Structure 1
Amino acid sequence: MSTTTTFEDLQAAFPRWTIWRSSADRLWATRNQRLTDAQLSHGLSHTIDADDADQLVARLRDQEELAAGLSPQ
């Protein structure tokens, strides 16, 4: 993770996710809410992972864009 990006920064930017680093030194994020079958079919994920903070941010933003494209459940 870059020295300018902390877990607190990531959590503040993505409050609907819980973010942590695994023992394999990968970053992970899990949603704080359950997804419906329709949301899963649309491509939303419960949990995502990445090699670094920049990659995780990109994947989280992709998930937010997908979610924004769904009509309210």
Structure 2
Amino acid sequence: MPTPVILEDLQAAFPGWCIWRSSAGRLWATRNGRHLSQHEVDHGLCRTIDADDVAQLAEQLKEQETAEQAL
């Protein structure tokens, strides 16, 4: 998958996440309706992540998918 370039592309690529830009311009993503167990958190899964730009957020979301699949 190519790196998404706009928020709509990012949201389409990662439908399990709610993605938004804060008033300060920072990007955030929170899992949609999924609570993580302590085991999942201990293995690197995050409920919410943030980044400076779309490419950084996309990379973090890919890392979250990889970590989740490893469990």
Residue by residue, what CA displacement relative to the aligned partner does 1:26-71 show, whole Å, maximum 9, x if unpaired? Answer: 000000111111101111000000000000000000011000100x
Q: Structure 2: which amino acid aligns with 1:10? A: L
Gaps of 5+ in 1: none
Among all aligned residue pairs of Structure 1 and Structure 2, give the percentage whose two residues are the same amino acid.
Answer: 57
Task: Give yes or no for the alignment of 1:64 onto 2:69.
Answer: no
Task: Give yes or no for the alignment of 1:6 onto 2:6.
Answer: yes
Q: Structure 2: which amino acid aligns with 1:24? A: A
The structure showing larger relative contact order (alpha-carbon pairs under 8 Å, at least 6 residues apart) is 2
* Equivalence for 1:55: 56
Quote the offset at 1:5 in angstroms: 2.3
SS in 2 for 1:23: coil
- Number of residue pairs matched by the alignment: 67
Structure-to-structure mapping, 1:3-42, within 5 angstroms: 5-32=5-32, 33-42=34-43
**Higher alpha-carbon Rg:** 1
Paired with 1:26 and 1:7, the residues of 2 have a C-alpha distance of 12
Q: Structure 2: which amino acid aligns with 1:25? A: G
Quote the offset at 1:23 in angstroms: 1.1
RMSD: 1.1
**What TM-score do the two structures reach when normalised by structure 1?**
0.86
**What TM-score do the two structures reach when normalised by structure 2?**
0.89
